[in-house]
Structure formats: C-alpha cells, structure tokens
Amino acid sequence: MDLLDPNAYAAVRKPLLEAETLPPACYTSREFYQRELSNIFLKCWNLIGRAEYVKKPGDYFTLSLVGVSLIIMRGDDGRIRAFINSCRHRGAKLLEGEGHCKAIRCPYHSWLYSTRGDLRASNGMQDTRNFDPSGFGLTEVKLDVWSGFLFVNLDSESVSLWEYLGDLDSYTQSYEFETMVTVKRKDFTVRTNWKSYIENSMENFHLPTVHQGTIGGVKAQWIPIDGAPGNYVLLQSRTTASRATLGGDAAFDRIATLRGPAAEGAQYILIYPCSVIGADLDCMWFKQMIPDGPDTVRYSAGFCFPRASVERPDFEEVVQSYHKRFDLVISEDNGISEVQLQGLSNPFSHAGRFSSMEPLVHTIDNWILDRVVGPLPMQQRTAAE
Ligand code: FES
Ligand SMILES: [Fe+2]
C-alpha cells in the first residue's frame, strides 16, 4: 500500500458509521510522519506556552518545535517575539533553558543582539567589506497571542492566528483564560504516536474502561462540535459539577464570568494539530504537545486557575485535590496511549471501525488526511462539478 496515495483512504473518507479507522501504518511509518511534519507542523499554528511565562522585558524561554530550536523573548518594547535560536555569524546556538537577559550575547564570538533581535554589536567585522549589521538581526518567526496562550507558525505565508481559530472564541470567551494563573507545569514523554494521543483526548468512549477508578463513573451528556472552517474540534460534557476533582474532594468556587455552554459543564478543545485545552467550571488545564518521531510525543501540561482562587488563603491546601485528580487521569491516558501504539505496531494489526461515540476521532483523522495526502481524487471531481 502506498501510504501517500489519497486513493488508499477511500474507506476512512466514508461517513462515520460506515468508515474505517486510519490504517495502523499511519501511526508507525516514518514516511507518513515526514509528510505530517512538512504539511502540518511546519504550516500550522502550534501552542508553545503562555504570555505569563515572559512577564518582564528580557524574560525568555527556549523550546524545540519538531527539531527547530526557538527563543521566545519579551522585548524592551513589551512585545513578545519568537526567534530562530542560531547566531547570524556562524550559526552557534544562542540560549538554553529559560531566564532573563538585557541582551543576547553569542557564546562563540560575542556578537550581541538586543531583546528585539537587532544586531547591536558585531565583534570583529570592522574590516569585512559590504557588511551591513542591519541585515543580520535574529531570524524572526510568526508569533501571536490568543487568550493568554502563545502560538508560533514556522510558515511565513500562513493565515493569521485569528483566521486559523475561526469562531473558537464564541465558546471560550467567558472563561477569560488570559487572566488565569498557571500554578503548575509538568513535562511528559509518552511512547505513542501524536495522533493516538489527540484522538484519545477527544472521545469519551474510553472513560468507563480506562478511567474506571477515577472519572469513569461521572454521568454526563456529550456534545461533539466540529469547528470547521476553524481549525479546532470541541467536546462538551454537560454536567452540574466540575469534573476536575474526584467525587467528594474539596473544590474551588465556579468561575464567576461563565456564560452559555461554558456555564453548563466542561469543554475539551483540540486546536489542530495537537494543542489540547480542558476548560471546566472552576479551572483550566492545557497540554502543548509536539511529536518527536512517529513513536514519541512530548508535552508540557499546565494547570491554571482564576486569580480569585489562587489568592484564597487555603489555595495550596485545596489545589492538592486537583493535582491528585490530574496526575491519576494523565497517567491513565498516557498508559493506554502507549498500549495502543504497541498494538498498532503489530505487523498483523488491521484498520478498525468507529463507534457512534467516536465522531471527533473520525473528524480528526480526516483533517489529517486532507493535509497529508489531500482529498480523494473522486471527491475533488465531484466538488468541481
Ligand atoms: S557564531 Fe555567534 S558570534 Fe560567531
Ligand atoms: Fe482519558
């Protein structure tokens, strides 16, 4: 089977209850993964953190996005920018980790860049002919902020973040994510394919099995929403109580500003390709994920609360109930995702079928196929007629 031939996916393109799942090779093949990098990760907006991580001018952090090392820095003009982490002289990597600086000094020959990325001092270049320092500032990458979340796009031709997200705001505005405080961050490495992980995040079918000891018994009405043409899907869980602590554990007050569906339960959001936000009645968490090969996902999870909760004198005590619930549920999801990839890697594994409880898995897989291999040639012809 040619994994990059759109005709190979006719069965995945059928309506949900007639469709097959993606063939197992899509989760294990290096060729398919390379195409995902070039057509998805190097073209889409990727979540890389929160604006509050760089509060003051000169604050920075670094990260690697599918092999591209980036510096995220707040400039002395207050703007947050993303730079390629490589000196414009002979390419040395400039910064590691996170911290604060007045200027970026290259560790190799001491070229000096401002916090806005301009080349300020180009040591040793006085005799070099036709050298114009203004053309040797750090290479900037598109960065934009949505609701306190930082996103970068490595494609300079991409649509704006606002266009990319479509009408997502209509579901999320009343949480006021931008005013929330990230109280804890935790990094994970999971031996699974990134698609398995986001599929798992957007279906409730596995809850009674995988989460039977934690959140599996909570009764809820589930409403799947495809955000197209916005690049997101959303799963609403209508419940009266927050799902962010385990039954009976101490909890904070509801977020005072919630309106509409946000006030009627939890909403789980996938912003393609793999940024997941869980918004509940009293808190919010997110996972900014990035694949590292077809068989590994790395992610940083952040846990956020309204300032009013964080300022309560009993915050540290009550927040333990939330951390306990998150740690347990995350380890259950990480575990089952690894088990799934082990099975999909079996050379005798086959494509499966979908339950009516997995509509967003089907939606996600078709979004990925649209970008990796393009539409079925027959569908293209019908659309043109
Ligand atoms: S490589 Fe940076 S100053 Fe030479
Ligand atoms: Fe789960």
Residue 243: the pLDDT is: 86
| Amino acid letter, 265 | G
- Dihedral sign, Cα of residue 234, residue 239, residue 241, residue 245: negative
Residue 383: the pLDDT is: 59
Look at ligand 1, atom 3, and give the residue with the nearest C-alpha.
109
| DSSP conformation class of 86 | S
Could you tell me if the CB of 92 is within 6 A of ligand 1? yes
**Average pLDDT of the segment spanning 3-18:** 97
Closest CA to 119 of 136, 144, 98, 105: 136
Residue 227: the pLDDT is: 98
> Any idea which ligand is nearest the CA of 122?
1
| pLDDT higher than threshold 60 for residue 384 | no
**Average pLDDT of the segment spanning 204-218:** 91
Ligand 1 mutation pick, 87, 105, 122, 128, max ligand atoms within 8 A of CB:
87
Closest CA to 292 of 66, 89, 116: 66
Could you tell me if residue 78 is left (phi over 0), alpha (psi between -120 and 50 degrees) or otherwise beta? left
**Average pLDDT of the segment spanning 334-358:** 98
> Phi/psi at 304 (nearest 5 deg)?
-125, 145
Q: What is the residue-averaged pLDDT of the chain?
A: 96
| Amino acid letter, 61 | F
Residue 108: the pLDDT is: 98
Closest CA to 267 of 171, 196, 178, 348: 171
- Reduced to 3 states, what is the DSSP secondary structure of residue 134? helix
Looking only at the bridges linking them, the beta strands covering 119-121 and 112-113 are: antiparallel
Could you tell me if the CB of 87 is within 6 A of ligand 1? yes
**Average pLDDT of the segment spanning 277-293:** 97
Residue 380: the pLDDT is: 63
Look at ligand 1, atom 4, and give the residue with the nearest C-alpha.
109
For the CA of 90, the nearest atom of ligand 1:
1
**Average pLDDT of the segment spanning 149-171:** 98
For the CA of 88, the nearest atom of ligand 1:
2
Residue found under tokens 């919630």: 258
All residues at 6 or more sequence positions from 219 whose CB lies less than 8 Å from its CB, including other chains: 239
Residue 241: the pLDDT is: 85
Reported as a pLDDT band with limits 50, 70 and 90, residue 381 is low
Residue 325: the pLDDT is: 93
Reported as a pLDDT band with limits 50, 70 and 90, residue 18 is very high
All residues at 6 or more sequence positions from 236 whose CB lies less than 8 Å from its CB, including other chains: 222, 223, 224, 225, 261, 264, 265, 266, 267, 268
For the CA of 92, the nearest atom of ligand 1:
1
**Average pLDDT of the segment spanning 229-246:** 93
| pLDDT higher than threshold 80 for residue 379 | no
Could you tell me if the CB of 307 is within 6 A of ligand 1? no
| pLDDT higher than threshold 90 for residue 385 | no
For the CA of 111, the nearest atom of ligand 1:
3
Could you tell me if the CB of 89 is within 6 A of ligand 1? yes
pLDDT > 90 fraction of the chain, expressed in percent and rounded: 92
Reported as a pLDDT band with limits 50, 70 and 90, residue 336 is very high
Reported as a pLDDT band with limits 50, 70 and 90, residue 249 is confident
For residues 49 and 288, the answer to whether their CB atoms sit within 8 Å is yes
Positions of E strands within 257-376: 265-271, 275-279, 284-291, 297-305
Reported as a pLDDT band with limits 50, 70 and 90, residue 242 is confident
> Any idea which ligand is nearest the CA of 336?
2
Closest CA to 194 of 285, 68, 289, 300: 289
Look at ligand 1, atom 1, and give the residue with the nearest C-alpha.
90
CA distance 273 to 261: 24
Helices (H) and strands (E) in the chain, counts: 10, 17
pLDDT tens digits, residue range 222-232? 999 999 999 99
CA distance 93 to 111: 12
pLDDT tens digits, residue range 352-376? 999 999 999 999 999 999 999 999 8
Q: What is the pTM of this model?
A: 0.95
| Amino acid letter, 326 | F
Reported as a pLDDT band with limits 50, 70 and 90, residue 193 is very high
**Average pLDDT of the segment spanning 313-329:** 95
pLDDT tens digits, residue range 135-150? 999 999 999 999 999 9
Looking only at the bridges linking them, the beta strands covering 284-291 and 59-65 are: unpaired
